[in-house]
Amino acid sequence: MLRSLRPSALVIGTSAMLALPAAVAAERIQVIASFSILADMVENVGGEHVAVTSLVGPDSDTHVFSPSPGDARALADADLVVFNGLRFEGWMERLIDSSDYAGPLVVTSEGIDQLDYPGHAPDRAHGHDDTPDDHGHDDHDDHEDEGHADEGHADEGHDDHDHGDQDPHAWQDLALGQVYVVNIRDGLIAADPDNAEAYKANAERYINEIEATGDEIRELLTEIPASTSVITGHDSFGYFSQAYGLRFLSPVGLSSEAEPSAADMARLIDVIREQNVQALFHENMTSPAVINQLAEETGLPIAGTLYADALATEGEASSYLGMMRHNAKTLHEALAEPGHDDDGGDDHGHDEDSHGHSH
């Protein structure tokens, strides 16, 4: 598409030069992503051929987002809509319906091995021994149906922020992040077949970067004992736990809106003492109050901020791969034991082939 914008040698002047950026922008396909992590993925795969708008921006909480009439208008004008599925965006179906958007939908989690959520209980965690169900990979022709089924409908009584029985935070496992990239690539090709080769090349490059980042993270985390427990603001690191062999605990469930009861807090404090937890961590888009209370009651230090559901506005964690590296470095700095290395990686590694995906 952009090749048609090359100016003729006979058309040179201020007005032509000023018009060029607008013309270039008009040639890009308009993509709406539900939140900042997906927007970054789309930008990496789409490159110069896409203009991406993120409905929920960096350092913002998808759980509490309420779409505006302007968001519905943006969807109506979009060429492609990209969202996570698994009820992560409980408001998405209503937004699509109200916008009358009829274009292609990309459900980025389509085809992953979904991780069952074990239930809201502070003394339980997503351990590296959890085994997800294998749900297989549906055809892309089923995107729209899957999107609506995943998100739930208000008429059926689903709460906008109820994630159901599956953990939706699959991007926290970089191997599953590659599945997201393949789904985004295929959606961009469907929406803009003229630039299919560019999308394929960008996706291949990006997948290679994801694989290299995964190797970096595993190397860092081998210095953290596999028995280590990590306390965060809400239960969003189940896939990270399964992939990289750390145990995560949270005083609340999958939604950042949830508030722990006094009994929940008391049980978690007991677990912290029993398991000799060494540090607590804030999350960038959840209230720090609960973690601050735990720090006050246990005397544990708050070792830093982890990024789960949203990128940072600036800095290393402002991209998907930067966010994953930041989290691994933060955990390593707080919890690594010098000289500790799990030979063979049985506890910290996982078999990427178990996800059943291919590029």
Cα end-to-end distance, the chain, whole Å: 26
Structural Rg of the chain based on CA atoms: 21
In the chain, count of helices (H) and strands (E)?
A: 11, 10
| β partners of residue 205 | none
Spatial separation of the C-alpha atoms in residues 280 and 297, rounded to whole Å: 12
Give the predicted TM-score (pTM) of the model.
0.77
DSSP per residue, 105-121: EEETTTTS-PEEP--S-
Q: Please, what is the average pLDDT of the chain?
A: 79
Q: What is the 3-state secondary structure (H, E, C) of 305-337?
A: EECCCCCCCCCHHHCHHHHHHHHHHHHHHHHCC
Span of 106-115, 149-158, 324-333, 338-347 with lowest mean pLDDT: 149-158
Q: What integer pLDDT is reported at residue 348 of this predicted model?
A: 52
| Span 41-98, pLDDT tens digits | 999 999 999 999 999 999 999 988 999 999 999 999 999 999 999 999 999 999 999 9
Is the Cα dihedral 109, 242, 135, 120 positive or negative? negative
Across-strand partners of 280?
231, 302
Over 50: is that where the pLDDT of 151 sits? no
Sketch out the chain's domains with CATH numbers. Answer: 2-211 (3.40.50.1980), 220-355 (3.40.50.1980)
Strand order in the sheet with 302-306: 247-249, 229-231, 280-283, 302-306
Per-residue pLDDT band at 351 (split at 50, 70, 90): very low
Q: What share of the chain is helix, strand, coil (3-state, %, to 5)?
A: 50, 10, 40
What's the pLDDT score for residue 258? 60
- If pLDDT is split at 50, 70 and 90, which confidence band does 337 have? confident
Handedness of CA 203, 205, 207, 210 (dihedral sign): negative
The token duo for 269 is: 């404090």
User: Taking Cα atoms as reference points, which of 251, 190, 194, 209 lies closest to residue 44?
Assistant: 209
Going by pLDDT thresholds of 50, 70 and 90, the confidence category of residue 192 is very high
Distance CA 259, CA 290 (A): 8
Alpha carbon distance 103, 78 (integer Å):
8
